[in-house]
């Protein structure tokens, strides 16, 4: 991945996460489906609507290339790669806190899609909105971002974690290593809540790799914590198969166990990791990491089914 593109994306994600809370290298090897007996669930897809009158965007949206990122495109990628279910993550860089497109898409495609929405922790109505979305739409999770205070351990965030715990849904935490202790504090107050560390605190190949991995490993001590292994193609400094982050990924898997790790594609890869395809990202886990079959099955599907698709 050219350093210019990688730096631009990292900067963009960092800025987006700080404001609202906001993944790859093209492989020369042909695409390969997961084994037929694997249940594959994509736990990280951002989707984009085509009707901007019905679903207006933010003022300066971060757009995918034309024709990419739609539900139809996602279905094509899923079919081509043997993916059965997907969690659609609210695209805050496109819709901010307006979750209607994500929730409507999950409701209308409930045979294969569940939604993870993002709500404003500074809005006192957000807990009631969360209850309504869970009741009325196929929403099974909420992405948690820091409040305007800059803190994750903020009263508004805490209220939403409490509501998610009450509803029995999953929290996805989007933050960096600087907020590890705040995640620990929130988790201590909500011991029954299951939560996922999005992008594993944004692990990347560089001088901070070991420090970030160390913080992620510490979070594995929390019984409700799960790791979303989406960082390899977004944080790599190498082309496919992104070997510079394989050791970091194995460290995270060893700390959490495969039973608390999930995979996500970073769809649409054409936007979030333009040098690694959807198929190649999946192939990193089916082939390149050298995982045992039991670990592959847990990471690629079984763990995610328990978190978001237990009734499917």
In percent, the amount of the chain with pLDDT more than 70 equals 88
Mean pLDDT of 201-210: 98
pLDDT (tens digit per residue) in 285-297: 999 999 999 999 9
- In this model, does residue 18 exceed pLDDT 70? no
- Asked whether residue 83 is assigned to any structural domain, the reply reads yes
Contacts of residue 105, defined as CB under 8 A and 6 or more positions apart, other chains included, come to 47, 49, 71, 88, 113, 115
Distance between CA atoms of 197 and 218, rounded to whole angstroms? 12
Dihedral sign of CA atoms 120, 225, 87, 235 in order: positive
Confidence band, pLDDT 50/70/90 cuts, at residue 21: very low
Contacts of residue 214, defined as CB under 8 A and 6 or more positions apart, other chains included, come to none
- In this model, does residue 85 exceed pLDDT 80? yes
**Alpha-carbon dihedral 306, 47, 284, 257, rounded to 10 degrees:** -30
Confidence band, pLDDT 50/70/90 cuts, at residue 30: very low
Domain total for the chain?
1
- Asked whether residue 90 is assigned to any structural domain, the reply reads yes
Confidence band, pLDDT 50/70/90 cuts, at residue 5: very low
- In this model, does residue 31 exceed pLDDT 80? no
pLDDT (tens digit per residue) in 94-133: 999 999 999 999 999 999 999 999 999 999 999 999 999 9
CATH number at residue 198: 3.20.20.140
- Asked whether residue 270 is assigned to any structural domain, the reply reads yes
Q: Which residue has the higher pLDDT, 45 or 11?
A: 45
- Asked whether residue 24 is assigned to any structural domain, the reply reads yes
- In this model, does residue 6 exceed pLDDT 60? no
**Alpha-carbon dihedral 133, 139, 143, 144, rounded to 10 degrees:** 40
- Asked whether residue 234 is assigned to any structural domain, the reply reads yes
Mean pLDDT of 301-312: 95
- Asked whether residue 300 is assigned to any structural domain, the reply reads yes
Q: Which domain holds residue 283?
A: 3-307
Which pLDDT does position 9 carry in this prediction? Answer: 45
pLDDT (tens digit per residue) in 174-191: 999 999 999 999 999 999
Return mean pLDDT, the chain.
91
Residue whose C-alpha is closest to residue 203's, from 180, 173, 228, 235: 235
Which pLDDT does position 38 carry in this prediction? Answer: 86
For 120-187, what is the HEC assignment?
CCCCCCHHHHHHHHHHHCCEEEEEECCCCCCCCCCHHHHHHHHHHHHHCCEEEECCCHHHHHHHHHHH
- Asked whether residue 170 is assigned to any structural domain, the reply reads yes
Which pLDDT does position 311 carry in this prediction? Answer: 87
Distance between CA atoms of 49 and 91, rounded to whole angstroms? 10
Distance between CA atoms of 273 and 282, rounded to whole angstroms? 13
In percent, the amount of the chain with pLDDT more than 90 equals 87
pLDDT (tens digit per residue) in 227-272: 999 999 999 999 999 999 999 999 999 999 999 999 999 999 999 9
Distance between CA atoms of 40 and 282, rounded to whole angstroms? 9
- Asked whether residue 312 is assigned to any structural domain, the reply reads no
């Amino acid at each position: 991945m050219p350093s210019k593109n990688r730096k631009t994306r990292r900067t963009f994600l960092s800025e987006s996460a700080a404001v609202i809370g906001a993944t790859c290298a093209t492989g020369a090897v042909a695409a390969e489906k997961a084994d037929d007996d694997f249940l594959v669930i994509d736990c990280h897809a951002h989707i984009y609507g085509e009707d901007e009158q019905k679903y207006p965007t933010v003022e300066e949206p971060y757009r995918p290339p034309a024709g990419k990122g739609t539900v139809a495109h996602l279905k094509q990628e899923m079919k081509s790669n043997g993916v059965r279910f997907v969690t659609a993550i609210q695209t805050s860089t496109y819709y901010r806190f307006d979750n209607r497109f994500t929730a409507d898409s999950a409701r209308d495609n409930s045979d294969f899609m569940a939604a993870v929405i993002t709500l404003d922790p500074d809005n006192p109505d957000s807990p009631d909105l969360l209850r309504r979305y869970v009741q009325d739409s196929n929403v099974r999770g909420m992405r948690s971002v820091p409040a305007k205070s800059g803190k994750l351990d903020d009263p508004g965030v805490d209220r939403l974690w409490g509501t998610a715990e009450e509803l029995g849904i999953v929290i996805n935490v989007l933050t960096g290593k600087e907020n590890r202790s705040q995640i620990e504090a929130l988790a201590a107050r909500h011991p029954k809540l299951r939560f996922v560390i999005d992008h594993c605190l944004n692990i990347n190949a560089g001088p901070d790799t070991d420090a970030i991995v160390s913080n992620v490993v510490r979070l594995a001590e929390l019984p409700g914590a799960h790791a979303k292994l989406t960082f390899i193609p977004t944080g790599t400094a190498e082309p496919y198969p992104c070997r510079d982050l394989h050791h970091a990924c194995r460290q995270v898997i060893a700390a959490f166990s495969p039973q608390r790790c999930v995979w996500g594609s970073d769809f649409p890869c054409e936007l979030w990791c333009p040098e690694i395809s959807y198929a190649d990202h999946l192939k990193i886990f089916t082939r390149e990491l050298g995982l045992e079959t039991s670990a592959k099955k847990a990471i690629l599907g079984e763990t995610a089914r328990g978190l978001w698709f237990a009734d499917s």
